[in-house]
Amino acid sequence: MGMPFACPISGWMFNRFQGLLYPPWVRSVLEMAGWHLPEGGKVLDVGGGTGTMGRLIAGPRKLSVWVADPAPGMLRHGRGIHPVLARAPGLPFRRGIFDAVCAGEALHHFRSPGEALEEMVHLLAPKGFLILYDFDPTTLLGGMLQRAEKLFGEPGNFFAPQRLRERLSRMGMHARIFQKGFRYVLLASPARHPVLEEVSP
Ligand SMILES: C[S@@+](CC[C@H](N)C(=O)[O-])C[C@H]1O[C@@H](n2cnc3c(N)ncnc32)[C@H](O)[C@@H]1O
**Residue 1: pLDDT over 70:** no
Q: Closest residue (by CA) to atom 12 of ligand 1? A: 47
Nearest 5 degrees, angle CA 120-CA 63-CA 119?
A: 5
Asked if 152 contacts 2 with a C-beta cutoff of 8 angstroms, the reply is yes
Q: Closest residue (by CA) to atom 13 of ligand 1? A: 47
Can you give the pLDDT at residue 63? 96
Please give the full DSSP string across 87-133, using - where no structure is assigned: -SSS----TT-EEEEEEES-GGG-SSHHHHHHHHHHTEEEEEEEEEE
Taking alpha carbons only, the member of 158, 171, 96 closest to residue 132 is 158
Can you give the pLDDT at residue 193? 86
List the chain domain ranges. 3-190
Can you give the pLDDT at residue 198? 87
Can you give the pLDDT at residue 125? 96
Q: pLDDT tens-digit profile of 150-192? A: 999 999 999 999 999 999 999 999 999 999 999 999 999 987 8
Can you give the pLDDT at residue 9? 78
**Residue 8: pLDDT over 80:** no
**Residue 2: pLDDT over 60:** no
Q: CB within 6 Å of ligand 1 — which residues?
A: 1, 5, 14, 21, 46-49, 52-53, 68-71, 74, 87-88, 104-106, 109-110
Count of alpha carbons within 13 angstroms of residue 122, beta-carbon side: 14
Helix (H) or strand (E) holding 102, with range, is strand 98-104
**Residue range 31-46: mean pLDDT, rounded:** 96
- Ligand 1 centroid to residue 160 C-alpha, Å: 18
Name the least confident of 18-22, 131-135, 164-168, 185-189: 18-22
Can you give the pLDDT at residue 180? 98
Can you give the pLDDT at residue 55? 96
**Residue range 42-56: mean pLDDT, rounded:** 97
Q: Closest residue (by CA) to atom 20 of ligand 1? A: 87
What is the rounded CA–CA span in Å between residue 48 and residue 69? 6
Q: Does domain 3-190 have CATH number 3.40.50.150?
A: yes
Q: pLDDT tens-digit profile of 100-110? A: 999 999 999 99
